[in-house]
Structure 1
């Protein structure tokens, strides 16, 4: 008999969400959850737009997850919620999922992942070259969203215009953050800044979702009578911060504001039955939200948005 170690069992279990949610039409990666994942792409139709989730990276993290996702609740409460969701408390699978929207002649990329290789590989699987991207929109400036902006000192998306929130840019430009200095600052002269309610392009509207960072933005996509909400890092985990929006998350810079934003946005997408695409949701990162008790429940998209 072959005995499975706990580490191997965790890695195998953590790989399942990505493997089980990818349609047969999407190329699969080898199931090595703890190593570099092969890029994946999952397209969806939204009126006249094509919205594609891009799995630019995934990684297993081990440790006490309560210290990251449940800072203001006791261990028993955190363990009970995890057990009810069939997930461990000492490991998590992290997904990094930028989005590309094709609308008319525009090819608009939202966030760039951890590095240039990850995002360009995912785009290639979607049939898009880096030179095809017309706009790069940064929801915020944490390293896993800006890491793919530069490639060996040169812009990865040489033909693109760059767009980000004014409040977000102003905050990071006033720091000595290395990621900002290396990846964002070199592109500053080519950046356009926007605020809550401004349009990136027809049918693509910025929405303030402050808290995770000082100027964190989501984007509402609308085409015809169909809509989809890009939420970026408004919520970082489908159980620990979506089902329990008041739980404090270590990554949130203003924890009180982030919790208020989660309640507001999740209530909106749930009541309006709008599909949501979240950067850290299990790939393909698209789904629906329904109210459940004092929180919400994540309902993964199955085939409703398939091309």
Structure 2
């Protein structure tokens, strides 16, 4: 019989836990690093959805003051701070990620949104193309680029040195969104800056674009859904393959605590705040009821998770091994 004192048992327990943790780390990273990469963290996450391959890609991350008053702009700062602290988050700073998505659907490689592009690289953003290549795809492999809406962090990577960044792609975007941002009167007033970005990045590609509305098809298995509020023509996308389903929610909710647990709280960047709140309830109510995963453009990387209804809002659970088994 071997006797072990309490301190030795504690050390043995730590050693055993460390061994388990290391094995879990090896399992988790081997999946994400399926393609060769020289980076310790390649910034992409790959999984299967039926017959589709899905890759979420981090274009970059930006730390800023907040979340209040960007999130909960109609609430007292103390109210927002209390919610954040209850969820173990700081109340004076937050990290905002930007996550385009690649889907290999049959012969098509479909890219949803393009990040900041070269203009963001000086600030540690604009990493989409390099991380695509780390994941095993070149920009010229992309056959379709889908734009969920036309804010700068979604369209900044469309053009590069005056030429299309995805040379062989055609484009799919919402008709309502395009009509709004290209109207002549958008080039003055509060919409001026973004309208100029649309003129530089979207309009040169219009001849190769298909404009869709609610229930418009991208390819077989991928359908657009009107989700206005954040912008007038903001869209989300339903993805289905071989009995599996995923929703790309774009900017329907941009903070995994504030915008989901308090979907009615206003967000500064939502152009129609009441419509945006109604869309959050509709989209995430559907996702919760159907128990399907979603990818949100600004959710914590790898930006894949689930929601359940709780206390009048939605509680976010990040995906772990659901797609590995």
TM-score class normalised by the smaller sequence: 0.7 to 0.9
1:53 equivalent among 49, 52, 56: 56
Q: CA deviation at 1:29?
A: 9.6
The 1:94/1:40 distance shift into structure 2, 3 A limit, reads same
2:196 equivalent among 138, 157, 178: 178
Instruction: Tell me the equivalent position of 1:6.
Output: none
Total equivalences in the alignment: 280
Q: In 2, are the aligned partners of 1:39 and 1:57 still within 8 Å (CA)? A: no
Instruction: Tell me the equivalent position of 2:161.
Output: 152
The 1:135/1:85 distance shift into structure 2, 3 A limit, reads same
The reply to whether residue 221 of structure 1 matches residue 226 of structure 2 is: no
Instruction: Tell me the equivalent position of 1:15.
Output: none
Q: CA deviation at 1:306?
A: 3.3
Instruction: Tell me the equivalent position of 2:251.
Output: 233
Following TM superposition, the consecutive aligned residue runs of length 4 or more in structure 1 with deviations greater than 3 angstroms are 26-31
1:124 equivalent among 116, 133, 136: 133
Q: CA deviation at 1:30?
A: 8.3
Question: Within 1, Cα distance between the matches of 2:52 and 2:39?
Answer: 31
The reply to whether residue 187 of structure 1 matches residue 205 of structure 2 is: yes
Instruction: Tell me the equivalent position of 2:289.
Output: 271
- CA RMSD in angstroms comes to 1.9
Instruction: Tell me the equivalent position of 2:115.
Output: 113
Give a deviation string over 1:236-295, Cα, whole Å, max 9, x none: 010010111001000100000000000111111001101000000000000100111110
Q: In 2, are the aligned partners of 1:112 and 1:119 still within 8 Å (CA)? A: yes
Question: Within 1, Cα distance between the matches of 2:90 and 2:197?
Answer: 32
Return 174-183 or 163-172, whichever deviates more.
Answer: 174-183
Question: Within 2, Cα distance between the matches of 1:263 and 1:208?
Answer: 14
Question: Within 2, Cα distance between the matches of 1:154 and 1:23?
Answer: 38
1:24 equivalent among 5, 12, 29: 29
Instruction: Tell me the equivalent position of 2:79.
Output: 77
The 1:92/1:29 distance shift into structure 2, 3 A limit, reads farther
What is the correspondence of 1:253-292 to structure 2 with a 5 Å cutoff? 253-292=271-310
Q: TM-score, normalised by structure 2?
A: 0.83
Instruction: Tell me the equivalent position of 1:95.
Output: 97
Question: Within 2, Cα distance between the matches of 1:273 and 1:193?
Answer: 30
Please list every run of 5 or more consecutive structure 2 residues that lacks an aligned counterpart in the other structure. Answer: 1-24, 119-125, 188-194
2:318 equivalent among 288, 296, 300: 300
Please list every run of 5 or more consecutive structure 1 residues that lacks an aligned counterpart in the other structure. Answer: 1-19, 32-37
Q: In 2, are the aligned partners of 1:98 and 1:112 still within 8 Å (CA)? A: yes
Q: TM-score, normalised by structure 1?
A: 0.87
Q: CA deviation at 1:107?
A: 0.2
Give a deviation string over 1:93-137, Cα, whole Å, max 9, x none: 010000010011000000000115522112112111000000000
Q: CA deviation at 1:140?
A: 0.2
Return 269-278 or 70-79, whichever deviates more.
Answer: 70-79
Question: Within 2, Cα distance between the matches of 1:250 and 1:48?
Answer: 39
Larger radius of gyration: 2
Give a deviation string over 1:137-192, Cα, whole Å, max 9, x none: 00000000000001111100010001100000000101222211111111111111
Question: Within 2, Cα distance between the matches of 1:30 and 1:250?
Answer: 35
2:148 equivalent among 139, 142, 161: 139
Question: Within 2, Cα distance between the matches of 1:125 and 1:110?
Answer: 18
Question: Within 1, Cα distance between the matches of 2:314 and 2:63?
Answer: 25
Q: CA deviation at 1:23?
A: 3.6
